[in-house]
Chains A and B, each alone.
Chain A
């Protein structure tokens, strides 16, 4: 089992509230993603088991949604918004800055498996641009100093 009994319990509770269990697929994927950090076929099977929906249907839905990584990532998934408002305020240079700092290219993971860097579409934080999301948290109004501080803190925490 990949999902913990707590996660399964949460998924079951969620599913019980909906008129149809299938509606709980996305919330279940979210719970799984928060626990594991990415999704996989085994996880679809376990969700299928928990809510009584065919695993194929879980997989079908899951593969539509780009927010959930389907492969393991570094401990911290850095998602920089590269959409229009953020680009006007330097998203391209932010990505470049992170590439240099982490010594990886966009799409790659650092050798110590700590950071994965990707760019994503608008995260609804456009008036506090440029911004990035690391795992589940938003970091907004970014400056080079702030980015340094954040990376420093995450390195220490790990």
Chain B
């Protein structure tokens, strides 16, 4: 069975545009089959690495490409790999993070379901670079189809000798495990993921030690996002200079943006970093404007954990630096579009409910704070807001920010803070008039 998510992609554009690569074959229903993948140039980079590159050469090439992690934090991938101690006698592990649960994000699933071998090839190269002989992909539990596709691809890769013992006569051994999770957002956070993979409750760990030193089973471990890893074979095949020629100087390469909410063409779009956010929303080839002929109210550019932008702020490049300058973040690249009929209190309640639900409960500011946020925002939305509630929310946010074990606490706070900053009048209106300024009643 070939299964794939019905989400729209810009694969057609990727086919004709040499610069785009991740999506080149995702609309080909045969791409998940290893023969087709190989006919499209698959596993060439893997063979090249095994036959002619040392692990440190691989790390140097990936470092030189400037690619940064696509899972949210944007840490340079090659630099992260170089933190793995070379002389450690312990086994090393690579984990592909396919927990994909940041609201708005739906890109890794497309790669896994429509081009699973590209993920395996990237994982294999990363494993070789850090000296790992057993690699894992941690797939969120609900993605049953992704797990089936990855498992099938893995079996094909074993059968063709791309995985297993003495791969292609190189003397290098590599095994793979497809692991499925239990539907918890926090398990996308790398230290919670490690606990989860060890069979524990998925709660974050205090750092240091960082996973590169003491991760899975207290051994050196690298955790990378699906999209980061799927990019690696292209860097090896075409070289760091080619990769650096894409995107902007400080944010090289391409990135998949998941576009959702009130746009005419929601979907996943691969574009060079630095691509205009406005264009992504309005261009007929991409979002094709706000749905229902409504006006734009705001945008979350990088997944539900990143601050809102207002319509005046969307003339901005989609890259790490420009979005930060604009007061938000690139995050996971999930662009969520809100039209003028969206009540900001209503939207904030949806977000704060999520973070309260997903807090792992390990540290007090997040465990208690997310509960209070949901409660207070909930009562404002229900028309029972009290004078001073907005200031109360701001104070709680201040007490969570920067005081938690993992970044989920910050993630819960940042969109709310920006929602108050940009639309304070609307919050006050809601409290004083005991109702929404605009009513969010969306049909389906």
Contacts and interface: CB of A to CB of B under 8 A. Distances in A.
B201 interface: yes
Interface stretch (B117-125, B142-150, B403-411): B142-150
Task: Give chain A's interface residue range (CB within 8 Å of chain B).
Answer: 35 or more
Interface residues of B, number: 66
Contact of B444 (A30, A57, A144): A144
A20 B217 contact: yes
Contacts of B140: 124
A57 B152 CA distance: 30
Interface in B319-357: 334, 336-339, 342, 347, 350-351, 354, 357
B106 A27 contact: no
Contacts of A144: 444
A128 B5 contact: yes
Contacts of A127: 7-8, 106, 258-260, 266-268
Contact of A30 (B103, B180, B357): B180
B443 A90 contact: yes
Contacts of B351: 84
A123 interface: yes
Interface string B173-188: 0010101111111000
Contacts of A108: none
A121 B444 contact: no
Interface stretch (A3-11, A64-72, A110-118, A149-157): A64-72
B444 A90 contact: yes
Nearest to B143: A124
Contacts of B8: 127
A26 B103 contact: no
A120 B201 CA distance: 20
B72 interface: no
A84 B103 CA distance: 7
Interface in A50-75: 53, 57, 60-62, 64-68
A129 B334 CA distance: 14
Contacts, number: 177
A128 B144 contact: no
A82 B346 CA distance: 12
B179 A27 contact: yes
Given A18-B177, A126-B334, A138-B145, A85 B103 contact: yes
Contacts of B6: 128, 140-141
Given A53-B199, A124-B140, A29 B106 contact: no
Contacts of B181: 26, 65
Given A17-B177, A65-B182, A124-B142, A88 B201 contact: no
Given A23-B198, A83-B304, A84-B354, 13 more contacts: A26-B182, A65-B141, A67-B182, A89-B261, A92-B441, A121-B358, A122-B102, A122-B103, A124-B106, A125-B109, A126-B106, A127-B259, A127-B268
List the 7 closest pairs (A to B, CB-CB), nearest first: A65-B182, A90-B444, A67-B183, A22-B199, A25-B199, A85-B260, A64-B201
Interface of A: 17-20, 22-27, 29-30, 53, 57, 60-62, 64-68, 82-85, 87-94, 97, 120-130, 133, 136-138, 140-144
7 contacts: A23-B197, A65-B183, A83-B350, A87-B442, A88-B339, A94-B444, A142-B444
